[in-house]
Amino acid sequence: MFRGKQTRVLLLNNMEKLERTLFRLEQGFELQLRLGPTLQGKSVHVHINYPAPGKKFVSSSFHQLEWVNPSGREDDSDKYCKLDLEIAGSYQYYFGNEERTGGGYIVVDPVLRIGHERKILPLDCITVQTYLAKCLGPLDEWLDRLRVAKETGYNMIHFTPLQKLGASRSCYSIADQLELNPDFSSPGKNYTWMDVGNLTEKLKKEWSMLCITDVVYNHTAANSKWIRLHPECGYNLVNSPYLKPAWLLDRALWHFSCAVADGKYSDSGLPPIIENDKRITVSLEGLLWTDVFSQLKLWEFLQVNVEKHVEQFRKVLQAGECFNNGPKSIQECCDWFKMSLEELNAECYKEMHSHHEKGISCIVGTVCYERLASHGPQLGPVTRTNPLVTRYFTFPFEDMTMEQDNQLMQNPNDACHLLAHNGWVMADDPLRNFADPGCNVYLRRELVCWGDGVKLRYGDKPEDCPYLWAHMKKYTEITAKHFSGVRLDNCHSTPLHVAEYMLAVARQHRPDLYVVAELFTGSEELDNIFMTRLGITSLIREAMSAGDSHEEGRLVYRFGGEPVGSFVQPNLRPLVPSVAHAMFLDVTHDNKCPIQVRSVFDALASTAIVSMACCASGSTRGYDELVPQQISVVKEERLYPKWNPDALPSSVGEVNLQTGIMAGKLALNKLHQELAEKGFTQVYVDQLDEDTVAVTRHCPSTHQSVLTVSRTAFKNLETHQYRAHLAPMYIPGKIEEVILEAHTAERKAESYVKDERFINGMPNYTVEIREHIQLKDSEIVKQGDAITEGRSEFVEEIFFEKLTPGSVIAFRVSLDPNSQKMVGYLRTQLSQFNRLYKSGSLIDSNVPGILMSKLTLAEMNVLLFLCDAEEQEDGGGCYNIPSWMPLKYGGLQGFVSVLSEIRPKNDLGHPFCDNLRQGDWMIDYVSSRLMNKGGALREVGKWFSAVFIYLKHIPRYLVPCYFDAIIVGAYATAVDAVFNQMSSFVQNGSTLVKQLALGSVQMCGVGRIPALPPLSPELEDVPVRLNSVTKQEEQCCISLAAGLPHFSTGIFRCWGRDTFIALRGLMLLTGRYLEARNIILAFAGTMRRGLIPNLLSQGVAARYNCRDAVWWWLQCIQDYCNIVPNGTDILMCPVSRMYPTDDSEAQPLGTVNDQPLYVVIQEAMQRHMQGVEFRERNAGPQIDHNMRDEGFNVEAKVNPETGFVYGGNRFNCGTWMDKMGESDKAHNRGVPATPRDGSAVEIVGLCKSAVRWLMTMNENGNFPYSSVTIHGDGTEQSVSYKEWNQRIQENFERFFYVSDDPADPNEQHPELVHKKCIYKDSYGASSLWSDYQLRPNFTIAMVVAPELFTVQRAWEALEIVEKKLLGPLGMKTLDPDDLVYCGIYDNGLDNDNYNYAKGFNYHQGPEWLWPVGYFLRAKLYFAKKMGQEKYNKSMYLVKNVLSRLYTHLERSPWKGLPELTNENGQYCPFSCETQAWSIATVLEALYDL
């Protein structure tokens, strides 16, 4: 199956330390590390200890990765460094600049190979069987015993340690790590590690079986000869003197135990035979206090000799010269010192008393468990062999008295051989070494002690204990040389740094080392520390931990696989935290015998459940043979039986497929491996009843399934009444065969007798199994009816007739023939988007191709977007999921936004998926919506309709994943087609640029009724269409929606100001020149009194109540001329004037002579210099029910002294900050919150930009006018553009700059200054204080007319804006220090608060996004003038802000940037979810980069 290059992306964020997060990757993957929002713009270096090409791995050797930036400019959204992962292991990365600010680990899985052909063995294919090495006998007999694993279908053997064992004969108590167990050499032979290596190599190549073994790093056998020669390798009383109190206590307990064994305490209630009597525990507690703990006086180890130290202190004082008051003063000091020491001693006594209390509690608990508990070992009477408690320390001397023990402890030559045993501490921190100082585990008797092993003391590095590190390194090298993998014994109590070092050594010898471990940390987070640091491949998981079949089924679901019907994930996707790969075992040697805990009949059923897990699986030798007792790693000395296909049940030393459940295990192991090899990666677990579990494994490429039904038998059949009848089962699809059906059956044979020589199982039980039979031939189930539900659900009914407890049946299920055909056709269509779907595809010549390239960008607006209001305008609406919510768009983006949230999590239970499974409503919506549009959209709709026919005829559980593939494939194709029609800036831009550029398609559309007035008939290349009602041809120019969803349709769609603030970013920079031209000319045709409309309303009902829209329009014409090739040609384009005079009604197209655009531009400039003053037409509540009468008076003029445009009054708001009060309760109705009358700073800047441009254009011969003329009182006065430009230049900083000099002669109202070193928001406002409010508007003037600003002053002002106004996404619209600042906008709130009611604070604090673009552009412009250091810092700021916007854009289902947020970036429900100018100005900032 084609998979393609797999790439995973890891985002790096500041101070994000992921050492406890597991990231698993496969060899061949590419890892990309990208900067997250908190780091974009910073100078970040990434280091990793993954070996550089040609180098060997050294954990402490890190190298720096190089950054790759595909777009080569703009922002950091696409910048990454990468690793091609080819070497297995654990690798640490960190990042930062001068210091580390984050990091973590990645784990690369090994690739395992078997056979002469070196065939890959996938990790999920593994079926492992554990053997106690000591039970295999001489090495020359191993093949006969190991053949049992081969013949029962295992492909991996796990050996317990093969080294020479210690005196206890425990498999994990190793006497010499370098010596092969001499028991493996038969008489006359002396086998070596080379012989073992030859054996493992033979198994690997000839049997296709890998061999792994344990490594034990944390202890050695107490009788190891080398520990006697090198006692420094353990924790002894010389190198660990803090253990002396614990050692004395251990000896005292030994003497006490001997006394109990001798019956000396029988009269005190503590006889040698401890029976279940509560009085025993009381007696034991009392005797421990009186005869052990109190006698030892261990608190004295912590205390000081008070008298001795006081005398020393006195002598020091007497010898000194600091005391002049004589002996009395010295005595007072000594008394104080004595009192302090006594207090410290008292604290030490309390501390030791606490240890004693805990110690007694632990001792009593241990005795009760070992001697009395029914589930304990029931050790019997107290003897010297079985003492009252296990000794914690070695004692390689003859027994002696307590007094002699004390003397022994003082002699270093003897004390160095008094070594601490190893063990484990219940609920302890696995990262803590319990033998280190301060732990007190040995003193408090908290250790569950292994008396046959010595805990090893490595120190922090090899230099701390050279012999031990060298010895264990050799041990590791031997193991890695001969075995394909290791199991880390007691991984959770092995020092991490030791295991890291040793595994690095092992991987030098075997790079693809398979590492398995058992972790008992009790925490997935702690597990991950070991997984990531050590590069553990698989964690052992135990089916015996399940108390019932429901829990056993849950473990199958938890330990691997995806849900059935999962979405296909893209090859390039985020790297998400992983769950540790599992090795799921039906039993381990640590578990109690399943036959004793459950029943003999459960063995087959439970192992079938385990085998169906999508992970490694396995067992322990003896389980399959039905050995009815736990095979002890310590006490078991018998041999495993050999393989003999002809053996009889009575033959205890031989086994074959008739033994126990071995025939069933063979079939299940083969099935497990087949499922992993053939990609059955999806899992579904169904609990049919309290004992019956159905597990489905599904292959997403072939849609074949394997379903097993296992009826467990956790309870004894003789004592438990199982359900007599099971409900029928309905299996979707066509049952091809019964792969196997089996049950455990009793047979005539002798009853079980434990053999003395061989580990034998129960001969009177076997498995009756039938494989690869037809459903009609089954003895367990009966076939019912085949049912077709709807047109796509083909279901087979199954009746369980003989699924007795302990039975298993497995079905192979395929799609029914019709569904198979439909899926094949579907996959053919999808293969044009993704080669993955080539597998299983079928050709259907009746389906048309998907022709996205023929769609215009206006048609793409329909295909991809249209919010609910836009859909309703056309008689429809966005698709609504009844149990959830409507989608954001009717177009593909509405579906993609939801799917992008569901897909990574495989959230198949989402209402969206439910809706798809329940019916075809969503499917039909997509196709019929486009079919109804006509034109090229109808052709795309036909493709969807044809493809959806297939989708409707496949099983419903597959519909969500295939619907996703169709929608996402079509969407990606459409988006590519969009970018192909855009500018090189977009085509070659970063991901952020491209996503923002989609805002151009999102906002620009035609609608049912075109929003723009008609253009001149003389104009070329004007788009037309056939009106569906009049059947006449009509112009269909796109218009630009101000924002979605509130400003998307009708009269509120198109606004002059919003259009021209957004036009440069959304249309000119994206290359939509013709459409931009049409919009500019359409608004030009509506000019009246030198103004263009605020609210366009197709021109016929326009409102001319804003002072700034015309200046933004002029700025866009300037931008058009500068950006578009031959852009100045627009000045000659004909404009059809809708209003030939100020007071005329709107005239039909063609009734008024056209004017070239340059004439209309001159009119705007001329009228402003002359002075615009009028009352709005139809003034009154019919056009605005909130405005007061004075507000309808419009004024826009030029101050002849300064050249500044000014106007407005305190009852209207002619700039973008246009909130009019609406509340009667708060008495603010008809009062603008921000009138900004006078000269608004951004309008002055825009005017300066226009005047400067026209002056230059005239000088270059591109504009015929050099001046404007003022008429008045019969006179005529001309003002040249050069003169006007100069007046603004000379006066701007004089009247707008707020100096920090109190004596500044230009400052007429120093008492109103609130912030210094800024630029005023306006000049000459009717409310003088409002001029001095800090707002973000002067940054706009800095961008359009930077020449107005002194560089140093501009920089200081920008620094203040950054500090005070910049929010996470937008700019605060008012200084937070201002008395009327309020950052929460709530248009629905109506109360008596004048400043807040009915959203009065719309522009008094909420953080608007569009000014951010201008702030960033201004910052970059002036930073370049301030030098490289300032520029670098500004670049970081700009990229950091852009990264936050990018994060919002990616997460937003609207795929846009909002109009505004509440304070500190909080979501505002009253904001437009996506706003044209917000997107446009950010694109402009990216363009400047």
Indicate which residues carry an active-site annotation. Answer: 489, 492, 590
> What is the helix (H) or strand (E) element at residue 211, kind and residue range?
strand 210-215
Long-range contacts of 436-441 (CB under 8 A, 24+ apart): 437/240, 437/242, 438/242, 440/246, 440/355
- Helices 892-905, 911-918: inter-axial angle, 10-degree rounding: 110
Whether residue 37 contacts residue 603, with contact meaning beta carbons closer than 8 Å, is answered with: no
C-alpha separations of 565 from 683, 705, 765, 872, 959 in Å: 9, 11, 40, 34, 8
> What is the helix (H) or strand (E) element at residue 626, kind and residue range?
none
Listing DSSP states for 1381-1393 in one string gives ------TT--SS-
The secondary structure of residue 952, as a DSSP letter, is: T
Number of C-beta neighbours around residue 921 at 10 A: 13
Whether residue 389 contacts residue 366, with contact meaning beta carbons closer than 8 Å, is answered with: yes
Q: Using the Cα atoms of residue 1404, residue 1406, residue 1411 and residue 1412 in order, give the sign of their dihedral.
A: positive
Rounded to an integer, what distance in angstroms lies between the CA atom of residue 645 and that of residue 631? 24
Structure tokens at 1172: 């615009």
Selection from 111, 91, 84, 93 nearest residue 47 by Cα: 93
Residues sharing a CB contact under 8 Å with residue 300, sequence separation 6 or more, in sequence order: none
Selection from 851, 866, 855, 854 nearest residue 1005 by Cα: 866
Residues sharing a CB contact under 8 Å with residue 796, sequence separation 6 or more, in sequence order: 730, 731, 733, 734, 735, 775, 783, 784, 786, 787
**Residue 1025 phi, psi (nearest 5):** -150, 170
Whether residue 19 contacts residue 103, with contact meaning beta carbons closer than 8 Å, is answered with: yes
Whether residue 1291 contacts residue 1201, with contact meaning beta carbons closer than 8 Å, is answered with: yes
Residues sharing a CB contact under 8 Å with residue 1485, sequence separation 6 or more, in sequence order: 1412, 1413, 1416, 1417, 1420, 1438, 1442
Length of the chain, in residues: 1489
Residues sharing a CB contact under 8 Å with residue 619, sequence separation 6 or more, in sequence order: 128, 129, 130, 585, 586, 587, 607, 665
Whether residue 670 contacts residue 770, with contact meaning beta carbons closer than 8 Å, is answered with: no
Mode of pairing for the β-strands spanning 127-131 and 616-620:
parallel
Q: Sort 1145 into a burial class: Cβ within 10 Å, 0-12 / 13-18 / 19+.
A: exposed
C-alpha separations of 1466 from 1316, 1374, 1460 in Å: 29, 16, 9
**Residue 936 phi, psi (nearest 5):** -65, -30
Rg over alpha carbons for the chain, rounded to the nearest Å, is 42
Omega before 1264 cis (within 30°)?
A: no
Structure tokens at 1224: 């009667």
Whether residue 1013 contacts residue 1099, with contact meaning beta carbons closer than 8 Å, is answered with: yes
What residues does 393 pair with on adjacent strands? 420
Burial 693-731 (b: 16+ CB within 10 A, else e): bbbbbbbbbbbbbbbbbbbbbbbeeeeeebeeebeebeb
- What is the amino acid identity at position 972? A
C-alpha separations of 1432 from 42, 43, 98, 784, 921 in Å: 9, 9, 16, 75, 54
Rounded to an integer, what distance in angstroms lies between the CA atom of residue 179 and that of residue 493? 24
